[in-house]
Amino acid sequence: MFKMMGSIKQWSWVLLIGLLLGGLAWWMAHKPFPPKPQADQTYRASSKNLLPWPNLPPLLRSEELLLGESLTEGAYTLSLTNLGYPAPISLVGAEAETTLYLPVNPGLEAEALDLLLAALPEARGVLEVLAAERPLLQAPLPAKTLRVPLKGVPAENGFLTLTLRVRFPAEDLCAAQRLYRLRLLPESRLHLSGRPTPPKTLAEFFPPYLERVVLYLPDPPPPEAAQATLWLAGFLARTYPGRVPELDLEPYPPRWPPASPFTRYVVWLEEIGAQVQGFALLLGDLAEAARLFLAQPGLREAPFPGEATQTLTLKAPEELGPRVSLAQLGHGPKRVEGYGTLTAAYTFALADLGPDHLPLGLRLRAVHSPVEPKRGYAELLLNGVAFYTAPLEGTVLDLYTPLPSRLLERNNTLEVRFHYAPPEGRCTYGALPFTATLDPGSYLVLGRGELLSGLDAFPQALLPQFWVYLEPLDRFKLQLAARLVQALQETTRTPLRPEVASDPHPRPLLALGGPGLP
C-alpha cells in the first residue's frame, strides 16, 4: 500500500498511488540490466590492501576486494542517447550551428564520433566539425554517416566540446529557412578507449558519465542508511540531468561482481565516516552523506556568462516582488540569426520557482540589429499558445507582460519568436541578416498562488521538504521510495529534501507500506 498525504484532495492521492506504484512495480520487474563486462575488465586486490575492520561483511574481507589500481585497457561505445541527447538535434536554414558537450571519464580518450545524419537528398551543402575553433572535419552533404576523428583532442573538466556548423548554398535565404534542415540523430556514437582509473578523493568519486550505482546495505536498513539512500537518489538526478544513472539497492554479496567502467559502488558501513576504495565509496556517517549528496552538483554544466549587470528600470509594480532570472533557471544568452521566423525556447518547471510560487509576468530584454518600421515583430508563446506580440523597432526589445495562468503546466516551454522580413525582400548573401541576443538577466516575476491539481502539483507540493514513511522499513520499499524521489527530482532544478519519518504524521508525506497505514 502506498500513500501520499498533504493539502491536495484525496482523489488526487488515489490516482497518484495507482499510477506511480504500478509504474514502479512494472519497471522493477522489467528493468533492463546493463551488459555484463568483459572478463578482462575484472581486477583483484592484493591482500595488503584489505580493510582492517574484523566485523565487516564477507565481501570486504575477501581476497577479491574491488580495490585495484584501474581496469584493463578497453574500448567503449556510447550513443548520444546515453550521453543526454535523446532527441534529434536540428540545424535549420542556410547556415546553422550547434554545440555538443560529451563527457569523457578519467583515464579514457575520445577516438572518434560517428555522426548519423538525416536531410533531404537535394540539400547539398557542407558540414564542419570544430573543437576550440580547430577544424576536425569538413564533409559534403548530403551524407548519412560521417566519422569525426577525435584522437588527441583534449577534454576540459571532463567534457569534450564540439561545434557542428552547416552551410547550404542558397540564393533565397528566407526560403532556405524553411527548406533546409539537417538532423543529427541520437543513435550517433562516441568511441572511447583507454584504462578507466578509479577516483582518489571523495570529490572525484562520481565521474562525468555514469550508468549505474549499486548501493550495498543490510536488510532491514538502519534509518541513517535509508536517509542517505534518499539523498543519493536526488543527488544523482540533479548531477546527471537527462542521463540519470540507475540506482540499485542490493544485499552484501559474498564477493564483488566484475568491475565495470561506468558503475560505482556505495557500501553502507556504520561508524567509518566516508572513504574511497577503488571504485567503491565506503559510507557510514550521515553527516558525511549530507556533505556529499546535499551540496550542489560539482560536474560542469554548459558554460555561459552570468546575469547581465545592467539594472532594468521597472515597468510594472509587480516587478518589486520576488523574481527568478532565466540564468537562474539554467539558461545562458541565446542568439538567433537569419531571416523569416527565428525562435529561442526556454523550459522551466513550476517546482523550479520554489514552493507556492507561480509566475505572474515576464520581463524580457533583447538587443537586436536595426530594424526598419513594419519589418518585424516579436511573438511570445507559452506551451505552444501565443499570448503577446510587439513590433520590432530600433535595436532593443524591452517588454513586460503578464503570463496567462490558464496556460501554465507543471513543465513549461516559453518561446520567443522573431518574425523578420528584410527590406525589399533582399534574402540573398550579402544582405545583412537579423540578429538578436536575449539577455539571461530577463526574469519571471513570481507571486503566491494555488498549486495545480492532481499529478501536476508534484513535485512542487513537496517543497521545500517532505517526509518518507516506510512500514516496515525494508530494502524493497526503500528501493521504491528512492526510485520515486529520483523520478520527481528529474522534473525540477530545485533540490528536493526527503527526510525519513519515524511515524506517519508529518506533512507532506510519502508513505509506503501495508494495509495498516493510517
Task: Indicate if the alpha-carbon torsion angle 64, 70, 73, 76 is positive or negative.
Answer: positive
State pLDDT tens for residues 19-50. Answer: 444 444 444 444 433 333 333 332 233 333 34
Prediction pTM value: 0.82
Greater confidence (93 vs 228) lies with: 228
Domain parsing of the chain, residue ranges = 2-70+200-299+464-513, 75-194, 317-453
Q: Is 507 helix (H, G, I), strand (E, B) or coil?
A: coil
State pLDDT tens for residues 429-457. Answer: 667 789 999 999 999 999 988 888 888 89
pLDDT at 180: 87
Q: Quick one: pLDDT band at residue 316, thresholds 50, 70, 90? A: confident
Does the structure show a pLDDT above 80 at 515?
Answer: no
Q: Whole-number mean pLDDT of the chain? A: 83
Residues 6+ apart with CB under 8 A from 44: 63, 64, 65, 68
CA separation for the pair 96, 335 (Å, rounded): 11
User: Do the beta carbons of residue 390 and residue 436 sit within 8 Å?
Assistant: no
Per mean pLDDT, which of 168-182, 284-298, 443-457, 466-480 is the most reliable? Answer: 466-480
Residues 6+ apart with CB under 8 A from 90: 181, 182, 183, 184
CA separation for the pair 224, 230 (Å, rounded): 10
Calculate helix-pair angle for 475-489, 10-30, nearest 10 degrees: 110
CA-CA distances (angstroms) from residue 301 to 100, 184, 393, 481?
A: 12, 21, 35, 28
DSSP letter assigned to residue 450: P
Does the structure show a pLDDT above 70 at 395?
Answer: yes
Does the structure show a pLDDT above 90 at 292?
Answer: yes
Q: Is 213 helix (H, G, I), strand (E, B) or coil?
A: strand
The amino acid at 356: D
CA separation for the pair 409, 383 (Å, rounded): 8
Does the structure show a pLDDT above 70 at 68?
Answer: no
Q: What superfamily would CATH give domain 317-453?
A: Galactose-binding domain-like (2.60.120.260)
C-alpha cell at 195: 584504462
User: Do the beta carbons of residue 104 and residue 110 sit within 8 Å?
Assistant: yes
CA separation for the pair 518, 504 (Å, rounded): 7
Q: What is the 3-state secondary structure (H, E, C) of 202-267?
A: HHHCCCCCCCEEEEECCCCCCHHHHHHHHHHHHHHHHHCCCCCCEEEEECCCCCCCCCCCCEEEEE
CATH of 75-194, one of 1.20.1050.10, 2.60.120.260, 3.60.15.10, 1.10.1750.10: 2.60.120.260
Greater confidence (13 vs 497) lies with: 497
Evaluate whether 75-194 and 317-453 have a shared fold: yes
CA separation for the pair 476, 221 (Å, rounded): 10
Cis peptide leading into residue 220 (ω within 30°): yes
